[in-house]
Amino acid sequence: MSTVKTQRRVSYFRRVGHASGQIASARVTSALSVASLRKRYGRTTALHAVDLEVAPGELVGLLGPNGAGKSTLVKIACGLVRPSGGQAQVCGAPAGSREARRALGYLAELFRFPGWARAEEVLTLHQQLAGSDGGAAERTALLQQVDLLDAREQRVEAMSKGMQQRLGIAQALVGGPRLLLLDEPTSALDPVGRRMVRDLLERLREQGVAVLLNSHLLSEVELVCDRVAILSGGRVVAAGRPSELVHAGGVEIETGDGVRRFPQATREQVPALVAELVQAGARIYGVRVLTSSLEEAYLEAVGGRQEEAAA
């Protein structure tokens, strides 16, 4: 049952994607294009023929339980891991090629900068490696974006984990990448830091930067992402806009006699329902249109996959 639902969602996502122009057409090169991507580590298959597209300026969230293959997918995209099969392209260039690496910025889930280096030095090194000629102005702008301008002379080893993570985000933005691959970028951040990252991602989207955001924080993904792909067991088990993934949960109408529930009703049916109740003499105090949250959609998709695997 769950599999059927999943398949329906994937195809729906594709249809909607094409209709709204969210997925790159033949004329627009995708920031990230992944087709039938497979990866095996010995006997373990981390990715089973995964398809995913991220259009320029699009913010896509990658969700899934631990071991779902999210980090493997991101690592293949940035050339750290070689795929066992299928294709991955970054801005039209094969993933891992010099052209592809030139086009992307990456923040690893588990990364470290040398403790002896100062924030400014870390960015300078990455500017040199990325061939960026932005100089001090670029470094200042990046540090300002992640609220680390005052810490530019601070050594990494003296920074909190959150500061290091923000420096990691600044590092990923060196050279003005067209695709940003962020693997758990807010895992060490406090709510203020997370808000800062959300604002930053929205600014990047306005600038046309594509972002693939790998995160466990569903609420965050729901808030900021244009689309979401849910991975489980190395497969895309659900994908689409967050609003597409959640589904109607009925309507609740608060009347003088108590709350009346209409589990099958949709938002469009609310005026008719209210009119019917009023005609029947009920007094209406409130109406709530219920939808499932992304978390529920996620659990449903992942749970279904796990049940299938167990079967």
Partner 1 sequence: MSGAVVVAGYALRESVRRRVFVVVLLLTTLFVGLFAFATAKVFEHTGDFTIGRNIGTLDATGLIASTMLGLGMFAILFLATVLAVFLTLGAVRGDAERGLLQPLVVRPLGRTSMLLGRFAAAASVCAVYVALVYAATLLIVHQASGRWPDAVAGPGLALIGGSAVIVALALLGSVLLSATANGIVTFMLFGAGLVAGLMQSIAGGIGSHSLGQIAHAIAIALPFEALYQAGLHALTADRTGFTGALIQLGPFGSSHAGGPLLDLWAAAYVVLALAVAAWGFARRDL
Binding site for partner 1 (CB under 8 A): 41, 75, 78-82, 98, 101-102, 104, 106-108, 110-114, 116-117, 125-126, 128-131, 168, 171
Output the smallest distance, CB 75 to partner 1, in A. 7
Half-sphere exposure of 125 (CA within 13 A, CB side): 11
Judged by beta carbon, residue 78 or residue 211, the one nearer partner 1 is 78
Length of the chain: 311
Judged by beta carbon, residue 25 or residue 160, the one nearer partner 1 is 160
Q: Phi first, then psi: what are they for 309, rounded to 5°?
A: -65, -40
Structure token pair of residue 101: 């690496």
3-class DSSP state for residue 181? Answer: strand
Output the smallest distance, CB 116 to partner 1, in A. 4
CB burial string 43-76: b at 16+ within 10 A, e below? eebbbbebbbbbbbbbbbbbbbbeebbbbbbbbb
Judged by beta carbon, residue 103 or residue 236, the one nearer partner 1 is 103
Output the smallest distance, CB 16 to partner 1, in A. 32
Judged by beta carbon, residue 90 or residue 297, the one nearer partner 1 is 90
Q: Whole-angstrom distance between the N-terminal and C-terminal Cα of the chain? A: 13
d(CA 79, CA 170): 20
Output the smallest distance, CB 47 to partner 1, in A. 13
Output the smallest distance, CB 68 to partner 1, in A. 17
Judged by beta carbon, residue 43 or residue 112, the one nearer partner 1 is 112
